[in-house]
Amino acid sequence: MKRSEPAWGKYAAVFLLSFGSVRQRGGELLGRLLFLAILLFIFSHLWQVAFEGSAQSKFTDKELLWYLALTEWVVLSLHGVQVEMERDIQSGQIFSLLSKPWSYPLSQYMEALGHSFANFLILGGGAVGLAWGLSGSFLPGPWTFLLFVPLLWSAVMLGMIFQTIMGLFAFWMLDVQPLAWIWQKAIFILGGLLLPLSFYPDWLERLAMFTPFPAMLFLPATALVEGQMSLALEAMVLQVGWFLGALILVKLLLPKLERTFERIGG
């Protein structure tokens, strides 16, 4: 049969397909939005009390609220691709997926990215609206926001590639929940999900900077809140570096993991 569509077209189609399936995930998105609203409401009050009369802090309570809204926006946008890959491998659906003319990890990544992009757009509206409403000001400034907000999306893209790698480990481990648990805790602590890393002891902040998590959360969120171009550039460079590193890791790992998978084949 005559073929003319470019090979990348299938990955774009997978992205668009999963992006369009947002209709079927209304309940899930509503749940995420609700969680975000409760979290921001609690922390806005908590920080108002905690920072009352304190002029020493590196961030004001309003900046912290915006910071939290931005980091949660990224984390809540991440789609659980590793869970789906684990399910494919455990159920044997993987055989059908591997028999298709595509790269399995790339197709999974693009599908997850489509879901995440829909999450990102919807949760973005929620996060910004809530932070604006609860703090009473649009802190980053509209131009800084428009200029730096792509950094949050690239943070989601970076997070998704690491979660895809985690999913690939299901070829070897079958159950990747322990890895997912470590990943969540690492984002929480080393990424500075609730508090910026500048609040941490020096040694922990320095240690965190050797991991990909600050490039996903701390650096882009701080760049937005403080409107610092230097931080935004640092975030961008680190994101590109970690992304390339992750790609090399996939290239190296995939053949080994696929071979390991043979243990449960047959």
Count CA within 13 A, CB hemisphere, residue 227.
Answer: 9
Counting contacts by CB under 8 A, is residue 3 touching another protein? yes
Contact 123, 77 (CB under 8 A): yes
Site for another protein in 147-206 (CB under 8 A): none
Counting contacts by CB under 8 A, is residue 2 touching another protein? yes
Nearer to another protein, 105 or 140 (CB): 105
Contact 232, 149 (CB under 8 A): no
Number of residues engaging another protein in binding (CB under 8 A):
31
Counting contacts by CB under 8 A, is residue 263 touching another protein? yes
SS3 262: helix
Counting contacts by CB under 8 A, is residue 229 touching another protein? no
Spell out a b/e string for 231-252, using b for 16 or more CB atoms within 10 Å of the CB, else e. bbebbbebbeebbeebeeebee
Count CA within 13 A, CB hemisphere, residue 15.
Answer: 11
Counting contacts by CB under 8 A, is residue 17 touching another protein? yes
Q: Minimum CB separation from another protein for residue 130, in Å?
A: 29
CB neighbours of residue 118 within 10 Å: 20
Distance from C-alpha of 161 to C-alpha of 64, rounded to nearest angstrom: 28
Q: Minimum CB separation from another protein for residue 220, in Å?
A: 32
- For the chain, the residue count is 266
Record the tokens describing residue 87, joined without a space. 């399910």
Counting contacts by CB under 8 A, is residue 265 touching another protein? yes
Nearer to another protein, 93 or 184 (CB): 93
Q: Minimum CB separation from another protein for residue 259, in Å?
A: 7
Distance from C-alpha of 251 to C-alpha of 128, rounded to nearest angstrom: 37
Record the tokens describing residue 149, joined without a space. 């907000």
Counting contacts by CB under 8 A, is residue 101 touching another protein? yes
Counting contacts by CB under 8 A, is residue 13 touching another protein? yes
Spell out a b/e string for 13-51, using b for 16 or more CB atoms within 10 Å of the CB, else e. ebbeebbeebeebeeebeebbeebbebbeebbeebeeeb
Counting contacts by CB under 8 A, is residue 35 touching another protein? no
Q: Minimum CB separation from another protein for residue 97, in Å?
A: 8
Out of 45, 58, 100, 256, name the contact with another protein by CB under 8 A: 100
Nearer to another protein, 13 or 249 (CB): 13
Spell out, one character per residue from 43 to 82, where the chain touches another protein: x when CB under 8 A holds, - when not. ----------------------------------------
Record the tokens describing residue 261, joined without a space. 């998978």
Structural Rg of the chain based on CA atoms: 20
**Alpha-carbon dihedral angle through residues 78, 87, 257, 110, given to the nearest 10 degrees:** -40
Nearer to another protein, 5 or 202 (CB): 5
The one-letter amino acid code at 119 reads: N
Nearer to another protein, 104 or 213 (CB): 104
Q: Minimum CB separation from another protein for residue 151, in Å?
A: 30
Which residues in this chain contact another protein in the complex, by CB under 8 A?
A: 1-7, 9-10, 12-14, 17, 21, 24, 91-93, 95-96, 98-103, 259, 262-263, 265-266
